[in-house]
């Protein structure tokens, strides 16, 4: 539905609600460039692809570090459980008769 400017102003001055939706602007953390030349766009895409590769490599390394840390914690928990188990059972003393 589209209204003319005149109709919008008349409705506004009469305090009549309009069915026009106002969209909020979206803000991004980085500037989105406007390219004047196609070569700039190609370079920009190549740069983005390189950044994606670097980010994926960092994420892969962090995931591997977390997996290694989980494995170490699991191993430590198993050692602790084994130590508790051995501490709970009294040592067997051989009986010499």
Domain-embedded: residue 80: yes
pLDDT the model gives residue 94: 77
Domain-embedded: residue 43: no
Domain-embedded: residue 97: no
- Rg for the chain (alpha carbons), in Å? 34
Domain-embedded: residue 24: no
Count of domains forming the chain: 1
Tokens in use for 79? Answer: 């050692």
Query: Alpha helix (H) ranges present in the chain?
Result: 5-13, 38-88
Domain-embedded: residue 5: no
Q: With contact defined as beta carbons under 8 Å apart, do 51 and 58 qualify?
A: no
Domain-embedded: residue 44: no
pLDDT the model gives residue 1: 59
Domain range for 61 is 53-85
Domain-embedded: residue 78: yes
Label residue 95 by pLDDT band (50, 70, 90): confident
pLDDT the model gives residue 70: 96
Task: Give the separation between CA 38 and CA 36, rounded to whole angstroms.
Answer: 7
DSSP character at residue 37: S
DSSP character at residue 14: T
Entry pTM: 0.51
């Amino acid at each position: 539905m589209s209204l003319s400017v005149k109709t919008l102003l008349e409705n506004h001055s009469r305090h009549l609600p309009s069915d026009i939706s106002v969209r909020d602007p979206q803000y991004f953390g980085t500037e989105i460039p406007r390219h004047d030349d196609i070569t700039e766009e190609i370079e920009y895409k190549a740069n983005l692809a390189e950044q994606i590769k670097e980010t994926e490599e960092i994420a892969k390394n962090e995931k591997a570090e977390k997996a290694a840390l989980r494995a170490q914690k699991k191993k430590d928990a198993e050692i602790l459980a084994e130590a508790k188990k051995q501490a709970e059972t009294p040592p067997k003393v051989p009986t010499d008769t």
